[in-house]
Structure 1
């Protein structure tokens, strides 16, 4: 389960812990900041122990560590118990995505545990499967600039195209007309004609479940590098000259 909040609300969202038989085996801390959902969760290899999600596209840097603190407290664990970190690698915008990746690297170094990167769209696809969507389907998130990040899936754990960024109207018709999930699909109902409302936002619990599945089946992980798919919105102006010696 998870909780959500609206930007500007003064109180953090409640976190509901799940009963956990964690015996000292796998304990994954997962989080994602590639979308407006700042989401964190703790997973013991069998279930999500606690999860927190706050919807705020502008305060990823402020909200992520408190979200981690909440799920750790709700699950009754200390950071020293963690055996691995799972982080969403995008696609997503530069600023938000960087927050999650830098934080994951910091936790990995401080705790001396592996860091696993998972495509953000794969987390949404897994959550769609938990909501009953079997496939084929499309996952699309908002890329701004009237574009979406998207990929096609044959099932919750079977992505069949590489993540891409396009204007919705430029997507192949056979992709856009499939059942679809994600905020990007919700923004363009004239294109994504079979949009499903669940999941509405990214879930760190689902992201962790993807990692657990891959670890159990010998699957591979992408590099723990940001998947931007395009140049950042903030650019150095043309003709800029450095004022410090090189």
Structure 2
């Protein structure tokens, strides 16, 4: 199954073509682009066209679309979700949303064989930038199964709970390493194979996609005005 994987939940704009096999083995990436920047709207579709050309296929060959639904900031996150929905509708293929942190966790867990995962000293923390001096985070077991989260809070508050969360390893945004008191490895953003792996069960089962629901985890900055401002003294 040829899967188009997209994510705009972080500052990294990700697009990839992934082969998902029926035996459930780890997805293989045919072509991928990861642009580090905040121009999600300008970067995403050119990246999609680039990977299709690089793989020597057409968009009509895509059999499913997977998109990261966050958590992430409002504007960037909606670019990926709306683009995925539009592509799915145009191509007549299912569109599945996944938690972007799940994709990072599965990719990180997939770097280690099962024997090493079993010997892991603790759980896996995934952390990404939520801006406003906060982090989006979730905790996973060594196999990449989510145990708690996703949540958003200040790193200093999360640091106080790392022991009770039994965190032994962290991946994601390395900018939080000092504030969390942890060494943070990669991947820093959701890779295409991790996105496909997060949706592999429903994709291979042919399940109907659930509605695409963005994970904001907090209210937007903009609020409706409560009344008209006086312009005269």
Contact 2:29 2:192 in 1 (8 A): no
CA positional deviation for 1:170: 1.4
Residue aligning to 1:110: 90
Residue aligning to 1:84: 64
Alignment root-mean-square deviation, CA: 2.4
Q: Residues 157 and 222 of structure 1: is their aligned pair in 2 closer, same or farther, counting only changes over 3 Å?
A: farther
1:11-22 matches, cutoff 5 A? none
**Aligned length in residues:** 213
**TM-score in terms of structure 1 length:** 0.78
Q: Distance in 2 between matches of 1:168 and 1:193?
A: 10
Query: How big is each residue's C-alpha offset from its partner over 1:155-193, in whole Å with a ceiling of 9 and x where there is no partner?
Result: 34300113111111212132485311111xx22324433
Contact 2:134 2:153 in 1 (8 A): yes
Residue aligning to 2:30: 49
SS of corresponding position for 1:138: strand
Contact 2:125 2:171 in 1 (8 A): yes
Residue aligning to 1:94: 74
Residue aligning to 1:166: 153
Residue aligning to 2:169: 179
Q: Distance in 1 between matches of 2:110 and 2:212?
A: 25
Q: Residues 83 and 112 of structure 1: is their aligned pair in 2 closer, same or farther, counting only changes over 3 Å?
A: same
Residues 1:202 and 2:183 are matched in the alignment: no
Q: Residues 94 and 216 of structure 1: is their aligned pair in 2 closer, same or farther, counting only changes over 3 Å?
A: same
Q: Which one has the bigger strand percentage?
A: 2
Residue aligning to 2:100: 120
Query: How big is each residue's C-alpha offset from its partner over 1:60-106, in whole Å with a ceiling of 9 and x where there is no partner?
Result: 00000001001111111111111111000000000000001110110
Residue aligning to 2:223: 235
Please list every run of 5 or more consecutive structure 1 residues that lacks an aligned counterpart in the other structure: 1-25, 242-246
Q: Distance in 1 between matches of 2:222 and 2:186?
A: 32
Q: Distance in 1 between matches of 2:166 and 2:132?
A: 18
Deviates more, 1:134-143 or 1:228-237: 228-237
Residues 1:152 and 2:146 are matched in the alignment: no
SS of corresponding position for 2:9: coil
